[in-house]
Amino acid sequence: MKLIVHYNRHNFFILTLLFVLSGIASYVLTKNVLLNELDENLEDTMDKVNSYIQTHHALPLATTYDNLLISTDTASSPVDKPYLINASEPIRVKGKKHIGRTLVFFVSLDHQRYRIIISRPLEGIKHITKTVVLITMTMILLLIVILAVVNRYFVSRLWRPFYSTLNSLKNFRLNNHQAVEFKKSNIDEFSIMNEHLQLVTSNASKEYHLLKEFTENASHEFQTPLAIIRSKLDVLIQQDNFTETQIELLAEAYSAVTRLSGLSQSLLLLTKIENNQFSNQQDIALHDSLQRKASQFEEIWEDSEISYSLQVCHSYIKMNADLLEILLNNLFSNATRHNKPGGNIAISLDTKSVSISNTGTDTALDREKVFSRFYKNTVNNENNGLGLSIVRQICISSQISPSYEYRDGMHHFSFNW
């Protein structure tokens, strides 16, 4: 939910509540004013009736005049003061029934007590109620229209710098040497936000490039001493004056140096891919590359007793040729290394996707981490955990979508473009 919508909901709820409360308050106050005015009118009528009795020494006739209903009857018990009550029965005015207000008072005439009842309908209350409800609903609808207009032409324009900043952040990449540019705003809060974001992105980019430069330099510098160590170990292993235990120790050291050299080369390759050093792209016949790569691994699969199937159609992909070679090498090596004797490998190519499946462990890999650096499903000293990470980085630079799925006892790696 957008912030504007969230704000409008709260704002509309509060304003609606205020309008409703104000409508109720207006109704109650208006009703009380009308009742007070009506009571005063009834008391004026009572004074007129008393004046009539004193002047004519007779009771007024029961009549209905000017929405007034006057009736008289004898009273058995005296009452000191007049009193006001709501009419017990509806009063008819122009054929319609209305609730009424009644004033009851007592007079003495010719040694006889009489009760005089004066009633008047409260027909104005209904009209006031309808009017107040109508005004309240009109104000609420008017409020909705005003909020919609204000949000469309004013609030949305007010938030444009914020969305502009978000778009700039979406396009921000750590490996981009250009600094992020935020549009200037005359709103202080947005200006402060842009200044802080400018500082944060600039520092993050600098630290990233320093770390990447260190990794590249370290991987490059490691190659020479590793090559020297490996050559010296080659010379030592070829000598005959070592015991079996010493030879095994030398072989383990040689294997460790080889893995370290492979790790260094992989890190260096990752850095080059991230630096876009393989930017030269061309249309490549992927079916030919898959057939050529399968023939290169065919002897290795025979030695490992691994069967394979290859189903291809004519398909072309636009990417760097060197990166495609590295991609296929890693995928085929991964399918071979993590397979088992008597297993199989299935390679399938469509016009816009390729899938490489292999048998192996009977459990699925972690789909969230399988393409991450140094991910290993089991402890395997022969694997540095960077093969699929290199595959993922190549896919990113070549606009390819990788995915993994474990199905029917096989690990399926699919790539779509």
Q: What is the pLDDT of residue 353?
A: 93
User: What are the pLDDT digits (tens) for 222-270?
Assistant: 777 878 887 888 777 777 777 778 878 888 887 787 777 777 777 777 7
Average pLDDT over residues 333-356: 91
Place of tokens 């394979």: 308
Residue 370 has pLDDT above 80, yes or no: yes
In this model, does residue 62 exceed pLDDT 90? no
Per domain, the residue ranges of the chain are 1-138, 188-273, 278-416
Select the more confidently predicted residue: 77 or 332: 332
On the question of pLDDT at 342 being above 60, the answer is yes
pLDDT in the model for residue 317: 92
Q: What is the mean pLDDT of residues 116-145?
A: 77
The CATH class of 278-416 is alpha beta
Phi, psi at 95, each rounded to 5° = 80, 0
Strands 316-319 and 307-311, by their bridges, are unpaired
Domain 188-273, architecture per CATH: Up-down Bundle (1.20)
Percentage of the chain exceeding pLDDT 90 = 15
pLDDT at 379: 45
**Mean of all residue pLDDT scores within the chain:** 81
pTM of the model: 0.48
Averaged pLDDT for residues 94-107:
77
- 91-100, 118-127, 194-203, 335-344 — which is least confidently predicted? 91-100
The distance in angstroms from the start CA to the end CA of the chain is 32
> Strand pairing partners for 309?
346
Of 216 and 310, the one with more pLDDT: 310
Mean pLDDT of the region 290-315? 91
Whether the per-residue pLDDT at 349 is higher than 90: the answer is: yes
- pLDDT band for 93, please (50, 70, 90 cuts): low
| Mean pLDDT in residue range 323-339 | 90
Out of 48-52, 83-87, 93-97, least confident range: 93-97
Side chain identity at 298, as an amino acid letter? Answer: E
Give the per-residue pLDDT at 207.
Answer: 82
Query: Residue written as tokens 């209305």?
Result: 98
List, in order, residues 6 or more apart from 103 with CB less than 8 Å away: 39, 42, 43, 45, 46, 82, 83, 84, 117, 118, 119
H, E, C per residue of the chain: CCHHHHHHHHHHHHHHHHHHHHHHHHHHHHHHHHHHHHHHHHHHHHHHHHHHHHHHCCCCCCEEECCEEEEEEECCCCCCCCEEEECCCCEEECCEEECEEEEEEEEEECCEEEEEEEEEECHHHHHHHHHHHHHHHHHHHHHHHHHHHHHHHHHHHHCHHHHHHHHHHHCCCCCCCCCCCCCCCCCHHHHHHHHHHHHHHHHHHHHHHHHHHHHHHHHHHHHHHHHHHHHHHHHHHCCCCCCHHHHHHHHHHHHHHHHHHHHHHHHHHHHHHHCCCCCCCEEEEHHHHHHHHHHHHHHHHHHCCCEEEEECCCCEEEECHHHHHHHHHHHHHHHHHCCCCCCEEEEEECCCEEEEEECCCCCCCCCCCCCCCCCCCCCCCCCCCCHHHHHHHHHHHCCCEEEEEEECCEEEEEEEC
Q: Give the pLDDT confidence of 135-175 residue by residue, as tens digits.
A: 877 887 787 788 777 777 777 778 888 888 888 888 887 76
197 vs 129 pLDDT, higher one? 197
Structure-token match 């790539």, residue found: 415
Whether the predicted pLDDT of 393 surpasses 90? no
pLDDT at 381 over 50: no
